[in-house]
Amino acid sequence: MLSLFITVAIVQIVALASPGPDFFFISQTAVSQSRRDAFKGVIGITLAVAIWSAVALLGLNLLLKQMAWLHQLILWAGGAYLTWMGIQMIRSARQPPLIRTEDAPVKTSRKKNIFLRGLLTNLSNPKAIVYFGSIFSLIVGDDVSSATRTAIFMLIVAETLIWFSLVATLFSLPWVKAKYQKLAKWIDGIAGTLFVAFGLHLIFSR
């Protein structure tokens, strides 16, 4: 049983460490705004991971596979949202830089609804359910008890929360934020381009 938890923990941390929309959203929020704002995004992403893993745990991912039209619709909607977020970042990169001190608030629309944006950033990638479905079907198996499945669910959620909290803390350090001030346009532009790429990939994937 211990080996099962270790396997799931390793697979999940490797998946979390792989750069994706969640990582870029949290790191970009931390360096451009504040640690508190980034943690709001962390809570949103963690909640989304809890939703996706619960859906897979209940076997609803199998239903989604059978309803190809619904799966494709979710892909399009998620891709459209990520593309929209990327365009907003690119537009921000094209604007004149805002010179501010650490104590000065960030006056930008991106500071609004960070929790919701974090939640939607993860939910907008429906391929997450494929990932969690694979974990529970290939690694966990059908013979695992409900209590063990619940413990694995809690492990995945806890790992997600801890990992992105560390990312938020690291990228909100003063010296990291100072570097960001010098490279803000490039960072926002690259992050925006990546989000657009993620979004278009979802839209045109089969």
Write the pLDDT tens digit of every residue in 39-97: 999 999 999 999 988 887 777 656 656 666 666 776 777 778 778 878 877 887 677 65
Give the pLDDT of residue 185: 76
Average the pLDDT over 104-127 and give the result. 72
Average pLDDT of span 2-7:
81
Q: Is 58 helix (H, G, I), strand (E, B) or coil?
A: coil
pLDDT for 26 equals 93
At CA 61, angle to CA 73 and CA 129, rounded to 5?
Answer: 75
Provide the pLDDT for residue 116: 92
Please list, in sequence order, all residues whose beta carbon lies within 8 angstroms of the beta carbon of residue 194, skipping any fewer than 6 positions away.
21, 24, 86
Determine the average pLDDT of the residues in 17-38.
88
Q: Residue 124: is its pLDDT beyond 90?
A: no
pLDDT tens figures, 129-166: 777 777 776 666 667 777 888 888 899 999 999 999 99
Distances (CA, A) of 47 to 1, 102, 142, 157: 26, 29, 25, 8
Between residues 9 and 66, which one has the greater pLDDT?
Answer: 9
Q: What is the DSSP string of 122-137?
A: HHT-THHHHHHHHIII
Whole-angstrom distance, CA of residue 40 vs CA of residue 42: 5
Among 24-33, 75-84, 102-111, name the one with the lowest average pLDDT. 102-111
Residue 39: predicted pLDDT: 96
More confident residue, 103 or 37: 37
- pLDDT bucket at 111, cuts 50 / 70 / 90: low
* % of the chain at pLDDT higher than 90: 21
